[in-house]
Amino acid sequence: MESTWSEIGDKSYGIYLAHPFWLLIISGVMAKYNLLYTVVNVLAMYVMALGLSYLTAVTLNHVPKPLRKFILG
Protein backbone atom coordinates (compact mmCIF):
# COMPACT_ATOMS: atom_id res chain seq x y z
CA MET A 1 0.00 0.00 0.00
CA GLU A 2 2.87 2.36 0.78
CA SER A 3 4.30 2.05 -2.72
CA THR A 4 0.93 2.86 -4.32
CA TRP A 5 0.66 6.13 -2.41
CA SER A 6 4.33 6.90 -3.10
CA GLU A 7 3.79 6.33 -6.81
CA ILE A 8 0.77 8.65 -6.83
CA GLY A 9 2.77 11.20 -4.83
CA ASP A 10 5.62 11.08 -7.34
CA LYS A 11 3.18 11.80 -10.17
CA SER A 12 1.03 14.32 -8.27
CA TYR A 13 2.24 17.41 -10.14
CA GLY A 14 1.54 15.78 -13.50
CA ILE A 15 -1.88 14.69 -12.27
CA TYR A 16 -2.51 18.25 -11.06
CA LEU A 17 -1.62 19.68 -14.47
CA ALA A 18 -3.56 17.14 -16.56
CA HIS A 19 -6.81 16.77 -14.62
CA PRO A 20 -8.52 20.01 -15.78
CA PHE A 21 -8.24 18.91 -19.42
CA TRP A 22 -9.69 15.49 -18.65
CA LEU A 23 -12.52 17.06 -16.64
CA LEU A 24 -13.40 19.25 -19.65
CA ILE A 25 -13.37 16.27 -22.00
CA ILE A 26 -15.46 14.13 -19.66
CA SER A 27 -17.91 17.01 -19.12
CA GLY A 28 -18.28 17.34 -22.88
CA VAL A 29 -19.01 13.62 -23.21
CA MET A 30 -21.56 13.87 -20.40
CA ALA A 31 -23.25 16.81 -22.15
CA LYS A 32 -23.32 14.95 -25.46
CA TYR A 33 -25.11 11.99 -23.89
CA ASN A 34 -27.37 14.21 -21.72
CA LEU A 35 -26.04 12.82 -18.44
CA LEU A 36 -27.02 14.84 -15.41
CA TYR A 37 -24.58 15.83 -12.68
CA THR A 38 -25.89 13.40 -10.10
CA VAL A 39 -23.73 12.34 -7.18
CA VAL A 40 -22.87 9.03 -8.83
CA ASN A 41 -22.00 10.66 -12.17
CA VAL A 42 -19.83 13.34 -10.56
CA LEU A 43 -17.96 10.77 -8.48
CA ALA A 44 -17.44 8.60 -11.56
CA MET A 45 -16.28 11.66 -13.49
CA TYR A 46 -13.65 12.54 -10.89
CA VAL A 47 -12.44 8.94 -10.58
CA MET A 48 -12.07 8.73 -14.36
CA ALA A 49 -10.29 12.10 -14.46
CA LEU A 50 -7.88 10.96 -11.75
CA GLY A 51 -7.14 7.69 -13.54
CA LEU A 52 -6.68 9.33 -16.93
CA SER A 53 -4.53 12.08 -15.42
CA TYR A 54 -2.33 9.47 -13.75
CA LEU A 55 -1.95 7.60 -17.04
CA THR A 56 -1.10 10.89 -18.79
CA ALA A 57 1.58 11.68 -16.19
CA VAL A 58 3.08 8.17 -16.43
CA THR A 59 3.07 8.30 -20.23
CA LEU A 60 4.75 11.70 -20.34
CA ASN A 61 7.43 10.50 -17.90
CA HIS A 62 8.34 7.72 -20.35
CA VAL A 63 8.68 10.07 -23.33
CA PRO A 64 12.31 11.09 -24.01
CA LYS A 65 13.16 14.55 -22.67
CA PRO A 66 13.73 16.30 -26.04
CA LEU A 67 10.38 15.04 -27.33
CA ARG A 68 8.69 15.87 -24.01
CA LYS A 69 10.02 19.44 -24.29
CA PHE A 70 8.54 19.64 -27.80
CA ILE A 71 5.16 18.29 -26.63
CA LEU A 72 4.88 20.44 -23.52
CA GLY A 73 6.37 23.58 -25.04
pTM, two decimal places? 0.80
Q: State the residue range of the domain holding 10.
A: 2-72
pLDDT tens digits for 18-40? 999 999 999 999 999 999 999 99
How much is the pLDDT for 10?
Answer: 86
DSSP structure class, residue 34 = T
* Spatial contact of 69 and 58, defined as CB atoms under 8 Å apart: no
How many whole angstroms separate alpha carbon 10 and alpha carbon 33?
35
Tell me how many domains the chain contains.
Answer: 1
How many whole angstroms separate alpha carbon 42 and alpha carbon 63?
31
